[in-house]
Structure 1
């Protein structure tokens, strides 16, 4: 039987005991909200029937706490309002096909169950997201337009954007404000010390999960909690990186465009297929183009023939040069006039105590002086 609801608020009391009344709306049959219908849920919803052919407006309202949606079947609404003091917790996926508004509170999904999500169907737009109102967990998009996931964690909105083609077969995303070396909701760790030769550093502060089988560019965002200055001092060196499960390492997904500053901004990757990578985050490249020089800012002296020494392509054009390298405490560990791409990570500075010993893995600072030119300076990374 199809039921039409044209009331402002629907509250079903299924059980009560003394002063401790328990309320929940349960659907075991077939329900449909028709055009112009308005239903307000002030109680939890359990959907074990058919509740996915709706028009009109559905709102979840609780000024005193949160609400829960559960059951065996996904309800799908036309217009959806979320106005709760705490969270609207989804124990089953919820779809919306026309418009969704964040009024108050977050939508929370179980992060260990990516199939439970807030689903934006047919390019459904949304409004009202901010650091207190977002999807704390997984959201999906199905449609034909570019889409920005309204996702976040720890009371921080951290959007992720994909291109239109990626939404055709449904794309899924979530943000995690946690160390990828020890994630809470994945069965494997993503070691930030293991990366391809075109990288020399990976963020330890956050990551995103993006699932989809269509090639796309992805745009990630950062704020002052992302600690981007720990990776780069020039945003042109920032990269989107992804954990490749077949190589068991982070790989470079590029920097198609970047905007902002070191405290707030966004970066767009080159094209890639999301399903080929488990998670995404920020990294930094191993080279810097500086005038006539190409500076490879990663040194991995392990004998594999890649970046075994600190390479500055084009330095032979400037024989009157001097290179100094310092550790994090400002102690000079290497100095050479007429540098010739020969330094392989040994401690050879004038003030070095243990001269000739291998320097530990980590970030170092270089200063390159070329006669008649402005000094060049920046960071390099030793990874053995």
Structure 2
């Protein structure tokens, strides 16, 4: 249960003005001291705490501004509305959310609530979170407590190494026409192996260190409205800055159902992408696919238990003159078969992967292309290979 801390305060070499607490130099909170603010904080000089607590309280919206970012040791929030950041605010130790949000400009990723090397938070929920940009320093793992006015929509970043700076924000806005940004990310501008890109929400996450992200969807996300979509068809997609379109980031783990669940991406470099959101694999649209609803995506677990050991494409016998090609997430062809007869079981037969054939292909997501030459039809989709 969240606790309310009774506060007292000590001010040194600072003075309060009508518009708030104005720090012009040497503001200090000692180890046993607690500074409770029911007004704005205007910081124009060094305020770098290594001990003590600064709390924000009251029924009005408060603001943190000034020319110098303040650095707090412990921070507490118990407000009815929110705290607006006009300048970056740093937390060295613990941020305790009791009630109320911290907001920063959604169109300015240079202003954020920043968790320094050992900084952490407690008490986040739908009523207490960060709206706008959050940041973290020198971490390889962090769960950003971001969201919008209504819901907490966290993003977990798992990096391959220590990232000096990672930032994140959540937008419950259509990427094609976001109200908070001047840039747009057209959900129809995508590579062909993406079926649908979410038009409900997106995240911005920035880091130069390769990482995976985990994001969750809920009924508000609207993935259940996509025809024939399943949880297994959900992938993470990103607006690729170089390609200027949505491309596949992938899917290494999924849990839940199409109305509520979580997905973990493949490894990627976040700074290569301007935005990320949910996508689905392509859905078949012609008669052959409608009559064969499994065509589109497959789950393969070649472990010898007799269940999903082989890639079986129902109805392929209708076009015996066919060609199956399978590619890994780097676009390398790992399998090809003319007149495929349901015999792929996770082993490569072409490309450099054939050198490790005795080990089989690594688990993960693969892209396939089926050409039905007699019917002049082509189908694409994903294979989820589980070892």
Q: 2:255: which partner in 1?
A: 259
Aligned CA RMSD, in angstroms, stands at 2.9
Does the alignment pair 1:177 with 2:172? yes
Does the alignment pair 1:293 with 2:327? no
Q: In structure 2, how many angstroms separate the alpha carbons of the residues matched to 1:14 and 1:53?
A: 19
Does the alignment pair 1:204 with 2:204? no
Q: In structure 1, how many angstroms separate the alpha carbons of the residues matched to 2:168 and 2:75?
A: 20
1:341 CA displacement: 5.0
User: Is there any run of 5+ residues in structure 1 with no aligned partner, and where?
Assistant: 1-6, 16-21, 296-305, 307-312, 319-337, 346-377, 379-384
TM-score norm. by structure 2 comes to 0.71
Structure 1 residues 50-94: Cα deviation after superposition (integer angstroms, max 9, x where no partner):
0023311110111x2221110001001011101111001111111
Distance 1:274 1:132, change over 3 A: same
Structure 1 residues 231-285: Cα deviation after superposition (integer angstroms, max 9, x where no partner):
4632121110000122111000010111122222211101100110000000112
TM-score norm. by structure 1 comes to 0.72
Q: 2:38 aligns with which of 42, 67, 72?
A: 42
Structure index of larger Rg: 1
Structure 1 segment 1-384 matched on structure 2, within 5 A: 8-9=8-9, 14-15=16-17, 22-62=18-58, 64-165=59-160, 168-231=163-226, 233-286=229-282, 287-289=296-298, 292-293=311-312, 317=341, 341-343=375-377
Contact 2:60 2:80 in 1 (8 A): yes
User: Is there any run of 5+ residues in structure 2 with no aligned partner, and where?
Assistant: 1-6, 283-295, 300-307, 315-324, 326-336, 343-371, 382-387
Q: In structure 1, how many angstroms separate the alpha carbons of the residues matched to 2:178 and 2:57?
A: 33
Structure 1 residues 297-322: Cα deviation after superposition (integer angstroms, max 9, x where no partner):
xxxxxxxxx9xxxxxx998649xxxx
1:339 CA displacement: 10
Distance 1:267 1:88, change over 3 A: same
**Number of residue equivalences:** 300
Structure 1 residues 145-188: Cα deviation after superposition (integer angstroms, max 9, x where no partner):
41100000131110000015465211000000000000123332
Q: In structure 2, how many angstroms separate the alpha carbons of the residues matched to 1:165 and 1:53?
A: 31
